[in-house]
Amino acid sequence: MALPGSGTLSIQDIADEFGGIAPHSLSEYYRNGAYVGSSNTGVPTSGTISLSDSYGASAATVVTVTEGSYIRDYPGGDHFGWSQSNKVPNYAATPTAFETHSAFGARSPTTLNGATIQCIVAGEESKFTTERFCVVVSGGRGQTFFTSVLPQGGTILTTASANFARFSGSTMWVWYTSIPSGWNGTGTRTVTFV
């Protein structure tokens, strides 16, 4: 839930929305820092910060995915959404490598809490009839870098329930779950991160 757009606002209100470590200070809540995402454009990234900079700010970041697709020949699999080249995780229980492929789809914004979004895909592995949803970002992030994700047409997926891995300069969360309704390689979908 977003912070109010006007009126009284306290440091505790901001902490309740974004989290943080007590005792709280405004310096915890710069945009693109540890807690405040890039979509909160009223919040500065450095310098002077005040309580009123957080009016209307929200812990949620909505990413629009213009779907593309990647079809793997062997053992067969379809991937729908957005990915940079070679950023779709392999199908190990906890991914240990990236598949080799060209970039597909698009996403906006391009960052999540200061990290580059490298992959948001729904996919299936036809050989093992396994479906999944994946998020990959740049850098070595903690499992709770975000709390949950809601892909349009799907259900809320928590980071605590994800298969989580870090390697090759990236961090990934993979949920073995049904492909969200409507994800088919065409059209535009939203993904909400909290």
User: What residues make up the domain containing 16?
Assistant: 1-58
**Is 37 in the same domain as 79?**
no
Number of domains in the chain: 2
Same domain for 46 and 113, yes or no, is no
* Type of residue at 106: A
Question: Hey, how many other C-beta atoms are within 10 angstroms of the C-beta on 52?
Answer: 9
- Distance (Å, whole) CA 183 – CA 81: 7
78/41 same-domain check: no
The domain boundary, picked from 58, 75, 104, lies at: 58
pLDDT at site 12: 94
The reply to whether 15 and 71 lie within a common domain is: no
Integer Cα distance of 48 and 25 in angstroms: 13
Contact 71, 77 (CB under 8 A): yes
Clarify whether residues 129 and 106 are in a common domain: yes
DSSP annotation of 163:
E
169 sits in the region (left: phi over 0; alpha: psi -120 to 50; else beta) called left
Residues 124 and 70 in one domain: yes
Asked if 43 and 125 sit in the same domain, the reply is no
Phi (first) and psi of residue 17, to 5 degrees: -75, -45
Q: What is the mean pLDDT of residues 88-114?
A: 87
Do residues 99 and 42 both lie within one domain?
no
Domain match, 43 and 66 both: no
Question: What pTM does this model have?
Answer: 0.78
CB–CB of 124/78 below 8 Å?
yes
pLDDT reported for residue 73: 65
Q: Which residue has the higher pLDDT, 92 or 9?
A: 9
**Alpha-carbon gap, residue 87 to 99, rounded angstroms:** 7
33 and 115 belong to one structural domain: no
Mean pLDDT of 164-187: 93
* pLDDT tens readout for residues 16-28: 888 888 899 999 9
Query: Are the beta carbons of 144 and 187 closer than 8 angstroms?
Result: no
Give the model's pLDDT for residue 78.
86
114-171 tens-digit pLDDT? 899 999 999 887 666 688 999 999 999 999 888 899 999 999 999 999 999 999 999 9
Collapsing DSSP to helix, strand or coil, 37 comes out as coil
